[in-house]
Structure 1
Amino acid sequence: MNDTKMTGMELRATWGLGTVFSLRMLGMFMVLPVLTTYGMALQGASESLIVGGLLVFALGSAIAVLTDNIWGVILGRALQGSGAIAAAVMALLSDLTREQNRTKAMAFIGVSFGVTFAIAMVVGPIVTHAIGLNGLFWGITALALALAGVVLTLLVVPTAGDHTLNRESGIVRGSVGKVLANPQLLKLNMGIFCLHAMLMSSFVALPPMMAGAGFLLSEQWKVYLITMLVSFAAVVPAIIYAEVKRHMKRVFLGCVTLLLFAELVLLAAGNHLWVMFASIQLFFLAFNVMEALLPSLISKESPAGYKGTAMGVYSTSQFLGVAFGGTLGGFLFQLQGAWLVFLAGAVIALASWGVSATLREPPYVSSLRIALPGRAAADNQLAQRLQAQPGVTEVVVVPEERSAYIKVDTKQINRAALEKAVAV
């Protein structure tokens, strides 16, 4: 159990599932920077689950291809969204990796999300300009953003044995209420909701706004490329400062302040392209740092044994923010134009700042699951013995699952020492 070198099967599972997840998200994100502009030309926990989601996603892409009106595109995008595979990917990854390597595997999935977003923002406008919106949807389908994911899942990703319930990656039945009642988690969920609401509403207005100022749609990918490269370069030092120096609240609040400032600058930008470019850069600096910080904050604040449930609620809040932001942005843009969209974004950012200011500094702990042999699972004193270890802040032992879920400061004690305490 103490061998932290990933096996060949674990590497296949991590790279295979990471690629599947990235292909699916690439197809979703490529449409984001082009749909509001090019769309105006239109009239009026297993392999089988993952494959099903990808096929639904591919069906949505095909419907969007074959339609010649806006309602067909809406139906196609709705089907794309319904082919959600994140939960199934995480559950399968849990079955295919050992406890000591699971954090690394899930971190890879998280990093792939950010990289995919950056690639999609650049590639989407290039592809759409070259072959049109229908061509983009054909590319998403025929170039295997969905169907190649099916092939990877069936041929590359190893087959899992019996599924083991892991509360670190799965939702515990009947526990959602406990997570929703946690004030810190509630504030963080509002944070991701607001972040993606601002992203989606802003991208309703930004592409046509830049086009109206004389910046051709075919050239807009260059802005996204530069801003993404700069913002990704800034993420690493920001995360190091937040995690290592233990100033996560300070960095988080600073990012929300930067988002508010970016929305206000966009509101006042008028037709000044360089002001728009600067605002987009500020927005994505804050956005990418917050995207990296929020899952870590959720992990730190979630009760022992409920990390999977907390992440499930977090993901739901994220996609609700996407839906709300897109709807709000479209309505306001049609009503009064870009200025009202950015005003609403500033209001959302201000509300998010007010909530974020009340956050406490998070406990700097990690969530661990330790598998228990039969004898240890029946030990009534195990929880107390683990709780007495240095750096351990919370312990939940679930005998029927043969698991111990522990919140621990890994600077004071490591997994090996905890496993030794279990073995005793």
Structure 2
Amino acid sequence: MIDAYVIGTTLPALAAALELAEVGLSVRVSVDVPAPALTELDRGGELDPESTLAEFLEHLAQPIGEHGTGNPGAEPVRRDPRPVQLRGTKGDWTLQPTPSVWGIPSVPMAAQSLAILGGGAATRASLDRVKPVLTIGKTHELGALVRNRMGKGVETLLVDPLVRERYGVAPDAVDVALVAPGLNEALTRAGSLSGAALAYSERYVARETRVAPAGGWPELQAILVERLKLYGVEFSELPVQEVRADETQQDTWLVSEFGDEQFATRAVVLDPATHLPAAFEADLLPLAPEVWRAQARVRVESPEALDEDHPALRTVEVAGQDPWSLRLDRDANSQWFALLRGPRFVAEGWAQDRGADLAEAARIAGQVLEVAGLRATSECEVTVAVAPYISTARRDAESDRLIEQRDRDHTLLPVGVSFHGGELSSAVADARDAAIALRRRLTGIAE
């Protein structure tokens, strides 16, 4: 019998496997169907607001033992958020004003603010400096906060493009406490939203900084697999065919792989985004994400009137569809590409159930490019991912449901970004913490 069978080679699943293996527990890891997911992570890095992902990468980069060899390919590389070009009232592209928080300018009458907003909207925004703070900490929606303090122009031209790209909704739909925790408190201290944006700007940059391994995600996966093998972790050559409870032994699972090999295990660690055995459907389907977003990436012909040193961001409306976000940037080969992100949509099931959504997203992405006047020069790469949380209430409710499931069955540990609004850093931190709790039970330290 083995101590833990890990289904999936996503980063949260492998992080959990490492926590178990490092204390001498026997672990076996199955291959993913389809191919491993680490290669699909954001090429520009993943958000890491609490630095938990960077801490894990640093852990992997360190040698094992006094005479071990380090792994520089796992060292975290941090990439600060780049200012984007936005379209102003006259349709011209202008670099967004900085410092700012979600587009909220710290100096509404600065040259860049004026170029985008125009004189009237910039003057309205500057009244924020003299408007008293009457509802301290009471404005929960970001859109309402911006409109009340700075006017509709700032919300529409500066804030909306950034919020729609990240969350797939208008600023009115997102909680200030979620997207900029502490901003309302900064407003109370500063007495104006522009002053709060200035005071909060360094924290905003830190929260928006992306982290990636120095050698890239595929190399990180190779490093992590090699580290696991050093601890004696076995890797299957074939995927899991079936999992069922052992009727002859309590708290034991029987995992069957294609090829008729079967393993008895005291615990199963599972990322259901890669594979969900029928034995766990009843327990885990209620935890499946309900809200998703499509993303498409495609090379395009060089757009006109853009500064080649900075990405450009706009919102595109297609007839009969909610707005899509369109980012234009250049890759490492100086080739222009478009990154399109769709609105949020509700659907049941897991990521592997999203085939029809991919086809529909590809069709709409083509329409978005046409409306934007762009010509594709490559095939469109389309993915569908869990949509990020837009309210603290929803985030906390889903976290509570996950904790309740884990408390009901200590032999099953579900992990993955599906339980964290698609945020990898939170998923890795949670998987490591939950695996530490599991290993305490498996080693007899805790009940």
Q: Higher strand proportion, which one?
A: 2
Higher helix share goes to which structure? Answer: 1
TM-score, with length taken from structure 2 = 0.24
Structure having the higher Rg = 2
Instruction: Report which structure shows greater RCO (CA 8 Å, sep ≥6).
Output: 2
Question: Please, what TM-score do these two structures have when normalized by structure 1?
Answer: 0.25
